[in-house]
Amino acid sequence: MKNKLFVMSAASGAGKTTLKDLVIKEFPDIQYSISATTRPPRAGEKNGVHYFFKDKEDFLKMIENDELVEWNEVHGNYYGTPKRFVEETLAAGNRVLFDLDVFGKINFDKVYPESTGILILPPSIEVLKQRLHSRATDTEKVINLRLENAKKEMDFARIHGKYEYTIINDDLEKAANELRKILKIS
């Protein structure tokens, strides 16, 4: 199963979703993992495409029934990786690209230690703040919470994380090329 599982982690606003969207279509053997979440959908997001949107009660049942590889509470919402999706995708002979926060990656590695970690970092906290504001999807209070969490997540990843690759997303095309190289050689 070596090099079948790729886990991208980044603080909110660092650009991992944009990078994934640019690159994944070039790799037909890589399936993007869809996480379950209790977060409400943003404009344009669809259930079963972007996330499996669950209410808190349903999500807690998934935890209770051991249906998640990993899960965590982030920004006041639950996020997790459904086991069934991972098992079915691997059984079909495909690779999987995951989008997990740094804490979820630690738990994921307990189940799949052979996964390849890719840490996406913004060039600076100030740039990250500008990106979060430009998205115009969150209140100032939520943005401040995301920035506080981003600092903690980046420190945690540097100290405790298992990331074979780090991409500084200061130039989108350069960062996308780095991600392409990782997915090609692994």
Q: With 50 as the cut, is the pLDDT of residue 1 above it?
A: no
Phi, psi of 60 (to 5 degrees): -60, -35
**For residue 186, what pLDDT is reported?**
64
Domains of the chain: 5-185 (3.40.50.300)
End-to-end CA distance of the chain: 12
When comparing pLDDT for 23 and 14, which is higher? 23
**For residue 102, what pLDDT is reported?**
87
Q: Residues 139-154: what's their mean pLDDT?
A: 84
For residues 176 and 8, the answer to whether their CB atoms sit within 8 Å is no
Per-residue exposure over 7-35, b if at least 16 CB sit within 10 Å of its own CB, e if not: bbbbbbbbbbbebbebbeeebeebbbbbb
> What's this model's pTM, rounded to 2 decimal places?
0.82
What tens digit of pLDDT does each residue of 55-105 get?
Answer: 999 999 999 999 999 998 877 899 999 999 899 999 999 999 998 888 889
Q: With 50 as the cut, is the pLDDT of residue 181 above it?
A: yes
For residues 143 and 132, the answer to whether their CB atoms sit within 8 Å is yes
- 68-74 and 77-82 beta bridge pairing: antiparallel
What average pLDDT does the chain have?
89
When comparing pLDDT for 100 and 137, which is higher? 100
What tens digit of pLDDT does each residue of 28-65 get?
Answer: 999 999 999 999 999 999 999 889 999 999 999 999 99
For residues 82 and 52, the answer to whether their CB atoms sit within 8 Å is yes
CA separation, residue 124 to residues 52, 74, 104 (Å) = 31, 21, 23
Distance (Å, whole) CA 72 – CA 122: 23
Structure tokens at 83: 């086991």
